[in-house]
Chain A
């Protein structure tokens, strides 16, 4: 697969069909793959592919420094590609301006892999490889933390999040690494007036994580990058997953799966449940 990937990218760059390839590279054997930006055909040897390609490269589509390089070819796994579907729906990318190279994936040893239904990218301009029939390479099965959490009484959940958020330093890695967090000026940076305290206090941290979760509600595609990026080990993606479950359960909606599906918050239905409304 790597050979075919490199040949494809060499061809694209040689023919000037794209000006940059956003893919995975690996400087040292055994290390995690990291994003590379190939602008010259002779550099395609830096491209790699494998079970250590964790990053969701669609995040780079929001970066003005990357946009300035010109038309891009983007290497995506099926989970990453879901973000593309949402970005296109929200008019953030012009699909014709992008050359999508889809990599069939057998998993990157993350918890999300055991439940993966998109091992083969669905909308790629070029698809490389075939996903094996073996289950996706996932971490060893552990009890689902979200299930465990929701089974506890509310006061214990509160104590859990208080303990987790006490470690948050407001580095915003969770925000920066998310392809769907693309606002040029995030609400937490608004200071005339301040809406959300920027401080890494419990109040400020709760306010931030509530906002982040809700602004991503029914838009998060579950790539898990936010949790991976958190330097304090906070399972921030749990909040996103909880809201994704609600969107699925109440509205049959899963972000990034069906390009024709109506986004949850642009629409409403007369049959939306109101058993909680008096």
Chain B
């Protein structure tokens, strides 16, 4: 049986991590909602197995805004400066399994072709201590994409809420073991209570079959009308990773930076020529579904979605990726027949 750790001991340990100079992030209660943020004391951490933050943990390994290099121009001299990389160890504590599970999925694309150094540095210096879920809401759908409330993939250690002020602690990787070795832990004596897993929201096979044959379907235009083209879904999604590289600064000095980008923005695919191959929302929504549920699985063997539900919770129009998936699931098109290509 795995050892147990009391909530008080866990908070003490978090404070030890912080005092020793590590960066620590956890769910924090702010502005009436739960958000993952860096903390400077354990009292800020909300370690509740029933609640899910409205953002994701990707910001800690793949920042929303990251400086790639600086430039300075003096006369005809151009000098480039590399940013000082962040070397401190980082721990994300209280990560939901659907957030932890996303990181190994993202690893594929950031190592595809060439290695993304900033991302890999972020991954190397970060340990994820996940907290298994004991409840879900009506936007959760991890079980529909092959995951579960206690999925250990991507976690270095996992906490299970015993409901009595203690957690069962399971170290999964060497990184996870190192985090907790100093702590003396009595073994667990009770089996952990099981939380309820969300019922399936759609049939993944039906989604695959639909995507395989319905590229030209009028569904894409009709089913996505509510989408307003913002980035709330993409930016709170644990697996969305598209980015934009821009130069910022003056003629004298500045930096080349990498920022998150959303495939739902109207200008996401705008070319310098003025042409935009995805100039309407239907095309953009379609592309996103294919990316997550057809192309990424084909390329890397993993669905680019962990069923966290943030997209649906944060969508101002109540849509999100989940909304489109459910709409596809409701279609009664014979998915073995191709729709005629519109000319």
Q: Do chains A and B touch in the complex (CB under 8 A)?
A: yes
**Chain A contacts to B: CB under 8 angstroms:** 27-28, 31-37, 39, 55, 59-60, 63-66, 69, 164, 167, 169-173, 175-177, 189, 191, 194, 197-201, 204, 225, 228-229, 231-235
B35 interfacial by beta-carbon distance below 8 Å: yes
B118 interfacial by beta-carbon distance below 8 Å: no
CB neighbors of A among B224-269 (8 A): 224-226, 228-232, 234-236, 244, 246, 248, 257, 259-260, 262, 265, 267
CB neighbors of A among B246-298 (8 A): 246, 248, 257, 259-260, 262, 265, 267, 280-282
A36–B224 CA distance with the chains assembled, in angstroms: 10
**Residue of B222, B229, B234, B318 touching A34 (CB-CB under 8 A):** B318
**Do residues A197 and B54 form an inter-chain contact, with CB atoms below 8 A?**
no
B30 interfacial by beta-carbon distance below 8 Å: yes
- Number of chain B residues close to chain A: CB under 8 A: 44
**Do residues A231 and B232 form an inter-chain contact, with CB atoms below 8 A?**
yes
Can you show 8 pairs from A to B with CB atoms below 8 A apart? A35-B225, A167-B31, A171-B235, A173-B316, A198-B244, A199-B65, A229-B316, A234-B31
Q: Is chain A's interface secondary structure helix, strand, loop, or mixed overall?
A: loop
- Chain A residue numbers with a CB within 8 Å of B260 are 169-170, 200
> Which residue, of A194, A231, A232, has the highest number of chain B Cβ atoms within 10 A?
A231
A200–B235 CA distance with the chains assembled, in angstroms: 11
Closest 9 CB pairs of A and B: A233-B31, A34-B318, A229-B316, A171-B231, A176-B230, A176-B228, A173-B230, A231-B314, A173-B232
A177–B117 CA distance with the chains assembled, in angstroms: 36
> How many pairs of A and B residues are in contact by the CB < 8 Å rule?
120
**Residue of A65, A69, A164 touching B281 (CB-CB under 8 A):** A65
**Do residues B64 and A175 form an inter-chain contact, with CB atoms below 8 A?**
no
**Do residues A64 and B232 form an inter-chain contact, with CB atoms below 8 A?**
no
**Do residues A35 and B230 form an inter-chain contact, with CB atoms below 8 A?**
no
A186–B55 CA distance with the chains assembled, in angstroms: 26
**Do residues A232 and B228 form an inter-chain contact, with CB atoms below 8 A?**
no
A63–B225 CA distance with the chains assembled, in angstroms: 9
**Do residues A232 and B31 form an inter-chain contact, with CB atoms below 8 A?**
yes
Of all chain B residues, the one with the shortest Cβ separation from A22 is B225
Q: A65-B225, A233-B31 are in contact. Are A200 and B231 (CB under 8 A)?
A: no
A197–B64 CA distance with the chains assembled, in angstroms: 13
**Do residues B257 and A172 form an inter-chain contact, with CB atoms below 8 A?**
no
The smallest beta-carbon distance between A173 and chain B, in angstroms, is 4
Q: A37-B225, A65-B221, A177-B230 are in contact. Are A225 and B259 (CB under 8 A)?
A: no
**Residue of B232, B280, B318 touching A171 (CB-CB under 8 A):** B232
Not counting A172-B265, A175-B230, A177-B228, a sample of 15 additional A-B residue pairs whose C-beta atoms are within 8 angstroms of each other reads A28-B138, A37-B225, A37-B226, A39-B222, A63-B228, A65-B281, A167-B30, A169-B64, A170-B64, A170-B235, A197-B248, A228-B316, A231-B232, A231-B235, A231-B236
